[in-house]
Amino acid sequence: QSALTQPASVSGSPGQSITISCTGTSSDVGDYDFVSWYQEKPGKGPTMIIHEANRRPSGVSNRFSGSKSGNTASLTISGLQAEDEAYYYCCSFAGSNTFVCGTGTKVFVL
Amino acid sequence: EVQLVESGGGVVRPGGSLRLSCVGSGFKFDDYGINWVRRISGKGLEWLSNINWHGGFITYADSVKGRFTISRDNAKNSVYLQMNSLRAEDTAVYFCARRSTVGDFDLWGQGTLVSVSS
């Protein structure tokens, strides 16, 4: 049950696009499409922004998109805005009703 | 309002115990599995435990198996995490999260801080 690997930080200017990677193994990310992404801002709990690798819950901006290839999932934020500055985490189903989550990425809007 | 609210965090000495609570409101609590996830500073999120809607199916992360126990009382819309034999490395913010029908966590609480220190 090793944590999913994410870059510690990613930065971009307003209007740019950034991508955050989430690398697991063939026992979690590579074996299931149940990869989800969460945004966390100070003082608040995480909120889900992507589920099942590439589906957006209702109410989440279409600037957020997800994808998966092999053992790596990715979150792309398009048209970066100041309000997107936050921590982002991925989580994946890992079989036998267990999960594994990521090391977290801080997004800076320059 | 649909929400989860955690409580019970605090400062505890190594080897000590704490019991965290998670209360749900605004939704049919006994329709959902509930999970505990913690955020360790500098290390990200760590999934800890899952309990299904009726409490009959429970799983744990290896890191807490044998030390932590999850339980629920649907009459009180509550899930609990009994934490024993606490270690310094258990210091974290603990979240409860509702598990959706497709397996992800679609609702989280605001977290409760646990600090294990002598």
Query: How do B33-40 and B44-51 pair as beta strands?
Result: antiparallel
- pLDDT value of position A1: 75
- pLDDT value of position B102: 77
With H, G, I as helix, E, B as strand and everything else as coil, classify residue B88.
Answer: helix
The answer to whether residues A81 and A96 touch, using CB atoms and an 8 Å cutoff, is no
Band of pLDDT at residue B101, cut at 50, 70 and 90? confident
> What is the DSSP-derived secondary structure letter of residue A104?
-
pLDDT in tens, A43-101: 899 999 999 999 999 999 999 999 999 999 999 999 999 999 999 999 999 999 999 99
CB–CB contact B104 A43 (8 Å): no
Picking from B1, B35, B45, B46 by the largest number of A CB atoms within 10 A of its own CB, the best residue to mutate is B45
How confident is the model over B18-44, as a mean pLDDT? 96
User: What is the C-alpha R_g of chain A?
Assistant: 13
